Amino acid sequence: MRVVVVTKPETDYARSVEIFLNDFKRQTGKEVEILDPDSLAGGTFCQSYDIVEYPTIIALSNDGQVQNSWRGTALPTISEVSYYVSQD
């Protein structure tokens, strides 16, 4: 499984995303991938998965199928995301 956080730095929600990611790493010992939608790779990723709202957390299966996604500033719980990070 692959979990990706698509977020823009230096926005009004950037601090809450940073806190979520730090708490996630502290509680699970795992990190998730972070993409900036304004980067080349991030733009391509967002176009592929039709992501237009930030922040977005998306869980993908090994073959790229969307398993779950959370959009907007109402971030999911750490346990919701950790389920997908621990699935390999």
- Look-up of token digits 């990190």: 31
Are 62 and 2 a contacting pair, CB within 8 Å?
yes
φ, ψ dihedrals at 9, nearest 5°: -75, 160
| Domains defined for the chain, CATH in brackets | 2-85 (3.40.30.10)
Does the pTM surpass 0.85? The reply is yes
Amino acid symbol at 68: N
Residue corresponding to tokens 């998965």? 49
Q: Is the pLDDT of residue 87 over 80?
A: no
pLDDT digits (tens, 9 = 90+) for 43-80: 999 999 999 999 999 999 999 999 999 999 999 999 99
